[in-house]
C-alpha cells in the first residue's frame, strides 16, 4: 500500500489577549489532535505527524510543544504546555516554524499549515509580512496548504498579505471559538478524505491551496 506522510503544522497564538478564550483554545487544540488521530485510523495510508508551537513575543517567543511527532505519540496538551505571555510576534512565528518544517519535509510529504490568532502582528523582529508571503507563495507551488484563522481583524486582508488564500474569521468569544474549531475539524476531515482518495488512485501531489474551508 502506498503511503504518504502528512505534516500538520499548527501555529497557535499565546499572547495575553488569548486569556478571554483560553479554555476554549486549549480544548479546541486537543479536539484538533483528536481529529488527526481519527484520520490516522480512518486513512492508515496517511501517516500523520504533528508539529505544534505557540507564540507570543520577546526573546523566548516560540514555545515548541511537539516537533515532527507521529500522531500516535502525541498526547493532549495541558495548561502547562500552553502559557500566555506578552504580545504577538506572528510573522516571526510563521517564518521560523515554516522554515523549520521545510528543513525536514521531503518533496513527497503533504504539509498542512494552520495559523490561529486573535489579533494583529505587533512584535516581530526578524520576519516581515512580505518575507512571510514570499516563503508561503514558494511553498504553495510545492503543494503545501496554508490556512489562516483569525479574530479581531480583517482576516481576509491579513491572510492575503501573508500569501494565504484559505482564511476563516471567528468571534473571540467562548461560543465563537468553539464554532471555529468545529469548522476547522470538518475542513481537516474533508482535506484528509480528498488526500486519501488521491493516494489510493495514484494521483500525485497534494491538494489545491484555495479550497480548504469550502463545504
Q: What are phi and psi of 101, to 5 degrees?
A: -65, -40
Closest CA to 206 of 148, 136, 139: 139
Alpha carbons 165 and 178: distance in angstroms, whole number: 22
Domain count, the chain: 1
In terms of DSSP bridges, do strands 4-13 and 110-117 run parallel, antiparallel, or are they unpaired? parallel
Tens digit of each residue's pLDDT, the chain (215 residues): 789 999 999 999 999 999 999 999 999 999 999 999 999 999 999 999 999 999 999 999 999 999 999 999 999 999 999 999 999 999 999 999 999 999 999 999 999 999 999 999 999 999 999 999 999 999 999 999 999 999 999 999 999 999 999 999 999 999 999 999 999 999 999 999 999 998 888 877 667 666 899 76
Domain boundaries, position 156: 4-211
Alpha carbons 73 and 59: distance in angstroms, whole number: 29
Q: What is the CATH number for 26?
A: 3.40.50.410
Alpha-carbon separation of residue 152 from 7, 70, 176 (angstroms): 28, 33, 12
Alpha carbons 34 and 71: distance in angstroms, whole number: 9
Amino acid at each position: 500500500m502506498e503511503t504518504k506522510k502528512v505534516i500538520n503544522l499548527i501555529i497557535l497564538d499565546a499572547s495575553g489577549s488569548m486569556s478571554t478564550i483560553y479554555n476554549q483554545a486549549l480544548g479546541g487544540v486537543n479536539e484538533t489532535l483528536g481529529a488527526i488521530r481519527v484520520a490516522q485510523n480512518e486513512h492508515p495510508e496517511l501517516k500523520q505527524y504533528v508539529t505544534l508551537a505557540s507564540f507570543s513575543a520577546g526573546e523566548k517567543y516560540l514555545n515548541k510543544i511537539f516537533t515532527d511527532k507521529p500522531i500516535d505519540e502525541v498526547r493532549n496538551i495541558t495548561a502547562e504546555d500552553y502559557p500566555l505571555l506578552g504580545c504577538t510576534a506572528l510573522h516571526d512565528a510563521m517564518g521560523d516554524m515554516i522554515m523549520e518544517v521545510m528543513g525536514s519535509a521531503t518533496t513527497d510529504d503533504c504539509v498542512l499549515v494552520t495559523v490561529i490568532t486573535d489579533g494583529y502582528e505587533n512584535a516581530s523582529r526578524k520576519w516581515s509580512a512580505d518575507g512571510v508571503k514570499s516563503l508561503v507563495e514558494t511553498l504553495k507551488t510545492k503543494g503545501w496548504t496554508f490556512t489562516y484563522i483569525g479574530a479581531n481583524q480583517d482576516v481576509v486582508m491579513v491572510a492575503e498579505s501573508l500569501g494565504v488564500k484559505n482564511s476563516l474569521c471567528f468571534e473571540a468569544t467562548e461560543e465563537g471559538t468553539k464554532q471555529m474549531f468545529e469548522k476547522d475539524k470538518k475542513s481537516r476531515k474533508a482535506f484528509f478524505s480528498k488526500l486519501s482518495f488521491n493516494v489510493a488512485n495514484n494521483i500525485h501531489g497534494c491538494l489545491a491551496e484555495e479550497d480548504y474551508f469550502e463545504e
